[in-house]
Amino acid sequence: MQKQSICLHPKNFTLWYEFFAERNPGLNRTLEELIETTEILDDERCGEIFDRYFGNRLESAVIEQSGQMYERSMQDVMHSLGETDSKTAKYSSALKDFSNQIADGHRERWQELVTAVLEETRLMSDEAFRLRKRLKNAKSEISELKETLHNVRKESLTDPLTGVANRKSFDVRLAELIGSSAAKGEPLALVMCDIDHFKKFNDRFGHQMGDQVLRLVGATLMGGIKGEDLVARYGGEEFAVLLPRTRLADACTVAEQLRQRLSEKRLVQKSTGQSVGRITMSLGVALLRPGEQACDFIQRADTALYAAKDGGRDRVSCAP
């Protein structure tokens, strides 16, 4: 880890412990290939690999823990309800007994009976108060669990650097939209976006500025979509935009608007105040064909993207 200048924190410890333990062949192949190609394994790259191999495991662990907490809360509530039910039956029996004694005409004992009724009522009121308190606590705990699960789910589907959807979220949403498109006969467009000369930019200005560029691109794409559209970081400097119920011509127009929005931005290096100039990207657009598989759909959009790069970059190419 020191040789690769990898930050020392729990996620990276887990990643490299599993690598040396050789318990995950896929993980080992990925890391070995990166080491052999001398690619810099910075925090962002390690984070992507960690999410790919361990993200679901962490999500499952949190869900399991939340389920155990929920079960304990429910057991406590059921125990309280059982106690209250028992005491309610006892209270009902006591009232019936008092009623019978009054009906028997024991007037000299009425004061004593009234006092006893009031005491039983007080005890029942206390029990009801305790039950309400326990139910309130259980409700609060369950609300916290729901929020925790929501946050874990959101984090598992979000790229931590840019804040847009991650590859996992993209894959899930694409499958949903392909199914919906087939069922309803609605068009579905995909825009693949790649930042121009990103590696050269990274080499010149450093990875922190590279991260700043990725965040800028993510924010620019998010600002140019609406409704059910989805922006995702597909990997590295490549982004994907899903446009449901959008025909090819309209998708190409959206892609051109996104390209222009980014090219109008000017990025400044915070530490020096130096302008780093324009950031541009190339975009490829494809429309889902009837019966087309997700991998073929993505491949056609990617082919259009590389046609845009071959055509001079900073442009949009639409697949036929």
Element (H or E) spanning 31, and its range? helix 25-36
User: Do 227 and 160 touch, CB atoms closer than 8 A?
Assistant: no
The neighbouring-strand residues paired with 317 are: 284
Contact predicate 113/167, CB 8 Å: no
Both tokens of 92, joined, read 């009902």
User: Tokens 């000299």 identify what position?
Assistant: 108
Residues whose CB falls within 8 Å of the CB of residue 172, separated by 6 or more in sequence, listed in order = 157
Cα torsion 118, 124, 129, 135 to 10°: value is: -170
**Token duo for residue 10:** 């729990």
How many of the other CB atoms lie within 10 Å of CB of 305?
25
Cβ–Cβ under 8 Å, residues 262 and 279: yes
33 is catalytic: no
Of the residues 237, 238, 256, 264, only one is catalytic, namely 237
Give CA–CA dist 300/282, Å, rounded. Answer: 15
Strands (E), 246-310: 281-287
| N-terminal to C-terminal alpha carbon distance within the chain | 47
Distances 294 to 194, 220, 319 between C-alpha atoms, Å? 19, 26, 15
Instruction: Indicate which residues carry an active-site annotation.
Output: 237
